Amino acid sequence: MLTIGCHLSSSKGYLAMGKTAVSIDANTFQFFTRNPRGGNAKALDETDVKDYLAYAAQNGINHILAHAPYTLNACSADEHLRDFARRTMEDDLRRLEFTPGNCYNFHPGSHVGQGVETGVAYISDMLNQILTPQHQTTVLLETMSGKGSEVGRNFEELREILDRVQLSDKMGVCLDTCHVWDGGYDIVNHLDEVLDEFDRVIGLKRLKAVHLNDSMNDLGSHKDRHAKLGEGKIGLEALTRVVNHPALSGLPFYLETPNELDGYAREIRMMRERYL
Ligand code: FE
Ligand code: FE
Ligand code: ZN
């Protein structure tokens, strides 16, 4: 069975997200650990977590994906902002231990002119400070479109980070179809070759999740504007090949398309119908 879900608001807690997911025939979901613009997280409601875990087990929700606030920048030139990113992610990881065995995705960051090497060094330093052997969460680097000075614009940059993390078995990668397309990987005409390249540079065993998005822009545009499935430059045929590709079989797929709940329900139905 296809594991597919979408990004949901976490404002009403875990159980509410689980119920919303089931209502749109999703069997996983993604959520922000706190306000995406940063700031303090609400106190963790342990009753809500306990109720959610029972509900998830009964309703076939296996893995879920937590997403760090996208405003964090682990490789900022400002020491205070780097420190804020580290403390926020450390706190997120502590909270995610209440729902063990899931993944925590983050945007590597923007080097803001300091250069990729400096960016990679800051990001891997931070990971080396926050990861512990006890953590039961896998931390994912997201493939980025390369807008501005984003680190992670190609597979090599992610590999550079992974190579420098000591507890590297705690690390994985989340592939965003819009981002890799905008980053110049032609998943429309050369999906096999792109996945071969991912395997050669990073290793497919590192791939833990896929963000399934269409893109408003052309191959290599470095823009990062998501489109509804079938309404962008990637198109429904190519996205159908993605969910059916044997190298990606068993992975969870997350929609981050510009939709309300009914739109997500429609896209999930569409991809389930197209899943062979
Ligand atoms: Fe993201
Ligand atoms: Fe994404
Ligand atoms: Zn994006």
For the segment 69-126, what is each residue's pLDDT rounded down to a tens digit?
999 999 999 999 999 999 999 999 999 999 999 999 999 999 999 999 999 999 999 9
In this prediction, residue 39 carries a pLDDT of 73
pLDDT digits (tens, 9 = 90+) for 175-205: 999 999 999 999 999 999 999 999 999 999 9
What's the rounded mean pLDDT across residues 228-256? 98
Note the pLDDT of residue 67.
98
Compute the distance from residue 256 Cα to the ligand 2 centre, in Å: 7
Residue 61: its pLDDT value, please? 97
Q: What is the pLDDT of residue 38?
A: 66
In the Cβ-directed half-sphere of 169, how many Cα atoms lie within 13 Å?
5
For the segment 11-37, the average pLDDT, to the nearest whole number, is 95
pLDDT > 70 in the chain, percent? 100
**Ligand in nearest proximity to the CA of 211:** 2
- Give me ligand 1 centre to Cα 176, in Å: 8
Q: What is the pLDDT of residue 108?
A: 98
Q: Does the domain made of 4-274 have the CATH classification 2.30.30.90?
A: no
Which listed ligand is nearest to 179 at the C-alpha?
3
Question: What's the rounded mean pLDDT across residues 25-50?
Answer: 91
> 68 CA distance to ligand 3 centroid (A)?
13
3-state secondary structure the chain: CCEEEEEECCCCCHHHHHHHHHHCCCCCCEEECCCCCCCCCCCCCHHHHHHHHHHHHHHCCCCCEEECCCCCCCCCCCHHHHHHHHHHHHHHHHHHCCCCCCEEEECCCECCCCCHHHHHHHHHHHHHHHCCCCCCCEEEEECCCCCCCECCCCHHHHHHHHHHCCCHHHEEEEEEHHHHHHCCCCCCCCHHHHHHHHHHHCCHHHEEEEEECEECCCCCCCCCCEECCCCCCCCHHHHHHHHHCHHHCCCEEEECCCCCHHHHHHHHHHHHHHCC
Please provide the average confidence, as pLDDT, over all residues in the chain. Answer: 97
92 Cα to the center of ligand 3, angstroms: 21
CA of 32 to the centre of ligand 1 (A): 10
Q: What is the per-residue pLDDT for 40?
A: 81
pLDDT tier for residue 35 given thresholds of 50, 70 and 90: confident
**pLDDT reported for residue 37:** 75
State in Å: Cα 210 to ligand 2 middle: 8
What are 61-78's pLDDT values in tens digits? 989 999 999 999 999 999
Residue 36: the pLDDT is 77
Looking at residue 211, its pLDDT comes to 99
Q: pTM here?
A: 0.98
Domain ranges of the chain: 4-274
Cα 142 to ligand 2 centroid, rounded to whole Å: 7
